[in-house]
Structure 1
Amino acid sequence: MAISQRLQMRQGQSLVMTPQLQQAIKLLQLSNIELAEYVEAEIEKNPLITKSDGSEDAMPKTEASESTSASELDLGAGEAQNNLDAPKEDAYEADSPSEQIRSEAGSASLSGPSSSMDWSGTGKGGGSSFGDDYDFESNLCEEVTLRSHLEDQLKMSGISSVDQFVAQRLIDELDEVGYMRTDPTEIAQVLGTDVEHIERVLGVCQGFEPTGVFARSLEDCLILQLKEKNRFDPAMGAMIENLQLVAKGNLKALAEVCGVDREDLSEMLSELRALSPRPAAGYAGDAAPTVVPDVFVRELANGMFAVELNSDTLPKVLLDRSYYAEVSNVTRTEDEKEFVSECHASANWLIKSLDQRARTILKVSQEIIRQQDGFFVRGVQALRPLNLKAVADAVDMHESTISRVTSNKFMSTPRGVFELKYFFSASIPALRGGEAHSAEAVRYRIKSMIDDEAPDAVLSDDQIVERLRAHGIDIARRTVAKYRESLRIPSSVERRRALARSA
């Protein structure tokens, strides 16, 4: 068979992303802080873009009524309806010399290892994107913060997303030496859960490195380190309870309370000096940087929820039409005319992309409030199953758009500041065609059952399945076992043995 060359014509369809569409997508996935940096860079490159003083009217706020059914919720008449995928070209025309983007939405605010034996320094304390010009080498020697170190361990912990959020909140509460001073009761009230849940997650976090982090006090910090070395015994416990004698150097009294001789006491003091009273001392500062919310949610007196963008962090830019007209009149060469034309087109697209980004974030946030209204009323146990497709279908957008909107975006609510992705959870089907259940809510229910079990009636996984089915939750035994293990709860056999030993 002879091999030859020939020309053929083929007709096909392909999707080509224009530079303008690429810009809109890029802006959508940036956080507000990254967006501000991007806009500053564009202002430096484009002489037709200027900052706005923000004196223009803001976009209207929206309200969502509180209800057990998302379909019964009703947003206010000012809801933004512009779709990222279908901008209206004539929606941005203005008669004034300059073209103003109103991507802001109302004003809002947010009350937003050492071996030293110096125990006096352990007092209470407070708790960018990769662009084309990203300098990788300059970050090779970047100091590791305690926060980033703990977050890396949290991602590998294998605990549920709800527990991960609780752990993230505990990380935020750490002070500069690595202690967790906030009362767990306060955190439980904010998150709508019980103190036992917070204490359990705190116990998981206390297993992170460096040992001693998340301690509630100096004594707690030392005990965690001693237990990790398997050196915590009654004598060491007595020494920890009498640190004032250690500070005073009263060895005689210390030996008496510990019940040891001078030789053992000397060895115990050497072990104590090897511990770190400041777990965060070996890490860079800024262990808990402030998270700037992109959206504010406020509960109103009438049971409605007001949803608005954080206008303080949204860049406000103008296209200076008077300067554009002035420059256009003095251009002579084709290169000059092409440069001015490109600047004008780039400024227009930046303004439109910013407006579309703001409206899209607001629209998606409103839908999340619709779907998860129970969470804001009753707490984490009322979290509903929600995925990207459900929100995408509701707001008539693509799933990839919803994914970009919810990445690196935070929502300030009466229950705290949450990443938008937190509200998405897998679902467990219901029996008899009822409403599906959130996987996180089912985990919470399993833990509650085990917490409430009687010592003489420890629940097996099969019994938990039967109880869940009685509540209309269709779940398999292996799923119960998987959720129980993710909660770090022993099997029924291990729990019975533990109860027998304690008895």
Structure 2
Amino acid sequence: MKQFLELKKEQKLSMKQSLNLSQQMKLSINILAMSIEKLNDFVLEEVEENPNVELKFFIRDKNFYRNEDISELDNISQDKNFYEELEEQINFLKLDKKMRESCIFIVNNLNEKGYLLLSKRELLRELKVDENYLTKILEVIHSLEPYGVGAFSLEDCLKIQLKQKNIFDEKLDRLIDKYLILIAEQKFELIKEKLNINEEQMRLYISEIKKLNPIPSRGYNTGKLRRVIPEIIVKKVEDKYKCELNEKVIPKLSIKNENEIDKNFYKRVNDIILAIEKRNATLLKISEFITEKQKIFFETLGKEATTLKIIDIAQELNLSISTVSRTIKEKYILTNFGVVALRKLICMSSEAIKEKEYIEKYIENENREKPYSDQELTELLGKDGFKIARRTVSKYRKELGYKSSSNRKV
């Protein structure tokens, strides 16, 4: 009986330690993914009412922000974060480690509308999976709410929502794929002619499309108007670029009277301190690696970059893909040519860099009275040996700072 009680006591202790470890890991993961703004808000909320905890904040200096964001400084949205909501849903699903990390990677590569920033080809290359496995990953993403996230295009987004509503109609799909512009232009007779449908069918189709959400992230905080605060300062020392933490933006916690503080609260504060230290160490480690690999980015003032993928960073630093994705999310560096998102230094491939160079060359030398459309640029790139989707050309054109063909026309 005594042995049984000792065994039960040992098991209880083991379970308690395991639970504490799990809670610490969850805290550490959450803090790792926070922007510096969110981290400061989180720390303040945790300790502001306890007089035995001293907290030092960063100085809210407007020089740390992009000009377009200065007007937002006193107007921060408290809406639920779009990306966190999706990650939370993923964590509730029964997925193996590889599938979970792949899904989190996808979530961290959605734009502010909820669409994928990467093409299917880029995802296959980045995740190192086959098409069947990628299809399974996307099925998980498409099952998340709000429905429509993880789409490659507007058309794809609407069809994902129809699928989730168990609506399968070949002509409705065709209307979405080819004739959305006709709805916008109110060319209803032409729609009936193209689809060979009557007035009632056409109205039903248009009514169903209007029920769908073209911007899945609507109603959520996507972080687009958040303050941009650099956490890493990059300086050139002789022939190398060195990284250092921007100490004045990082919250500093210390306990003044240890004997007067509740034991559980004391542990909580210590766990937060350790999690922040780990976050900063991981951020600095990854930033140093990226900076070393992207020397050309700093030499050319951000105009050129070398191939660097998240999976390569993870393997080199012995970290998981999800850890790297969380670390670089919403993190910024201060360079001698401005504040830059750390994610911008992640380049999918040298081929993508070349494709951008060719797009830039074509646009710079086009006939200004008849500029190239994205489809024409896609065809020109195809002749040069690049297999690239039109939507990828459109994405690269926007990243290069060029307007659409209609807006470039003189």
Tell me which structure has the larger Cα radius of gyration.
1
Task: Looking at secondary structure, tell me which structure has more helix per residue.
Answer: 2
Instruction: With the length of structure 1 as denominator, give the TM-score of the two structures.
Output: 0.39
Instruction: With the length of structure 2 as denominator, give the TM-score of the two structures.
Output: 0.46
